[in-house]
Amino acid sequence: MTRIAIIGAGFGGVAAAAELLKQGFRDIVLLEKADRIGGVWRDNTYPGCACDVPAPLYSYSFALNPDWSRRYPPHQEILSYLERCAGELGVTDLIRFRTEVAGAAWDGAAWEITTTTGEKLTVDVLIPAVGQLSRPSIPELPGAEAFHGPKMHTAHWDRDVKIEGRRIAVIGTGASAIQLVPAIAGKAAHVTVFQRTAPWTVPKPDRGYGRARRAAYRRVPALMRMSRAATWALTLIQGAAVAGNPVATRVVRGYSLAQRRWQVRDPELLAKVTPEEPLGCKRVLFTNAWLPALSRPDVDLVTEKIVAVTPDGIRTADGIEHPCDVLVYGTGFAAAEFLVPIRVTGRDGVLLEEVWREGAHAYLGITVPGFPNLFLIYGPNTNTGNTSVIYFHESQARYIAQAVRSVAAEDQPLEVREEPATVYDREIQKRLAGSVWTGCQSWYRNAAGRVVTNWPGKAAEYRRRTATLRRADFH
């Protein structure tokens, strides 16, 4: 019997386990470092946290949910959905909680996994599904350790920290910050937002789903398929804009410009929130509340560079010290550092971190030469800037299930050959070199400037390319 270990019990890990169970594999264990499943939806509990992809699409195709409360549901609702799916699909019983993986080494025939407590586990197939957004990125700011008040990242929100009546400093203007700031503005005594670059925003077409709609979805599931298809069609417009389609770009830019001019009347603030970077080089953000929040008298947007954190606030390059009681990092994640801090050793003692020294890469974002029976979920260049990443998870899970079937049938390790992996990587990087993502520094790129997270084409292309495992590509 083929022994399989999946690292991580978020959307990707659950998708992989569900597909393997469907294919008849039973010796599966999910190693989860936390005491609850959910990944980012377990970890991110900051005020205002919600999905920025419409719920009809941000769900498994094989487990559409008739009970979403709205088009962009809050994090707790998404977490509950994932937990329900895991239970109904038989995945929950396979999870070993509070088990953090420290390393994994190929011994010539199997993977030996070591946990942070020293426990060892031997399996035939290893499937890391730790995600790209699991390790918060916190900038090193001079004086931060001397700050007198609480400090926290949005992904490690401390509910015991009082927000009401206090001065809050928020560093960053990414996807988390644009949800957090409107949620705490008016509750905090004052909010100061520190911005490095202005994000592109567009109106968020959110709406509540009433009881009649939910009842119709339960009675006629085909209606959910129609809603999902319509949502998919809308994401194609944004995807085309990011890809450089001139008509789509004009449409999205027009929406963004109209939103800024409608919601921001102060010329100075309007200048600050007007993006200078190309549309799409960072994630386009959906929001109706961000710009009105910045327009409040109790919210300041600071664009001067932070030079130091003082015991009582933040000092910027213009010499002004901005007092605050609580410091919040809305600074995203170390997405380019795949699998860190897990130490993975492949064939002939090769370290994966050494193979990825110039930047993470994998054939179809799933397999790496020199690492037999290692298959990644949400690996390099499988992120999407405009549609649901769960669609990619499902594609990877189906591909991996084919690979595991091959391993089981032949009773031999499966390793991608160097030639197809190299040809594939060159193709992807060539396509990415001409993309909008090279126009600015973002979490899509590593320190050397290589785009390591994003897929350069349409999601449908990725689905096609992962539909069938080509046995000729493997040893």
Cα(419)–Cα(273) distance, rounded to whole angstroms?
Answer: 47
Q: Residue 281: pLDDT above 90? A: no
107 and 167 part of one domain: no
pLDDT at 19: 98
Residues 81 and 148 in one domain: no
Final residue belonging to a domain, choices 329, 361, 388: 329
252 DSSP 8-state letter: H
Residue 11 is part of which domain span? Answer: 4-135+334-473
Q: How many domains does the chain have?
A: 2
- Binning pLDDT at 50, 70 and 90, where does residue 162 land? very high
Give me the mean pLDDT over the 10-17 stretch: 98
- Walk across the sheet containing 299-302 and list its strands: 151-153, 326-329, 167-171, 190-194, 299-302
Find the CATH number of the domain harbouring 404: 3.50.50.60
Q: Distance between CA 314 and CA 308 in Å, rounded?
A: 6
pLDDT digits (tens, 9 = 90+) for 362-384: 999 999 999 999 999 999 999 98
pLDDT exceeds cutoff 80 at 235: no
Q: What percent of the chain has pLDDT over 90?
A: 82
Q: What pLDDT does residue 135 have?
A: 86
| pLDDT score at 290 | 97
Same domain, 26 and 169: no
| Residues 258 and 226 grouped into a single domain | yes
Please, where are the H alpha helices in 1-58? 11-22, 40-43
User: Is 301 found in the same domain as 212?
Assistant: yes
DSSP codes of every residue in 161-212: S--TTSEEEEE--STTHHHHHHHHTTTSSEEEEE-SSPPPEE-----BPPHH
Q: Of 8-17, 169-178, 327-336, 439-448, which gets the smallest average pLDDT?
A: 439-448
Check whether residue 32 and residue 47 sit in a common domain: yes
CB 425, CB 361: distance < 8 Å: yes
**Pick from 279, 313, 329: which residue ends a domain?**
329
C-alpha distances (whole Å) from 75 to each of 62, 180, 222 are 21, 13, 26
Among residues 292, 311, 329, the one where a domain terminates is 329
Say what the pLDDT of residue 245 is: 78
Per-residue model confidence as pLDDT tens digits over 92-128 = 999 999 999 999 999 999 999 999 999 999 999 999 9
**Quick count: other Cβ atoms within 10 Å of Cβ 231?**
19
Q: Is the pLDDT of residue 241 over 80?
A: no
Is it the case that residue 168 has pLDDT exceeding 90? yes
For residue 330, the cross-strand partners are: none
CB contact at 8 A, 178 and 285: yes
Same domain (yes/no): 182, 207: yes
Q: Does the pLDDT of residue 466 top 90, yes or no?
A: yes
Please state, rounded to an integer, the average pLDDT across all residues of the chain.
Answer: 94
Q: Are residues 303 and 196 in the same domain?
A: yes
- Co-location of 225 and 203 in the same domain: yes
Confidence of residue 188 (pLDDT cuts 50, 70, 90): very high
* Residue 322 sits in the same domain as residue 341: no
Q: Kindly state whether residues 312 and 414 are assigned to the same domain.
A: no
- The pLDDT assigned to 447 comes to 84
Rounded Cα–Cα distance for residues 174 and 201 (Å) = 10
Q: What is the mean pLDDT of residues 202-230?
A: 91
Of the candidates 459, 461, 442, the one whose C-alpha atom is nearest the C-alpha of residue 450 is: 442
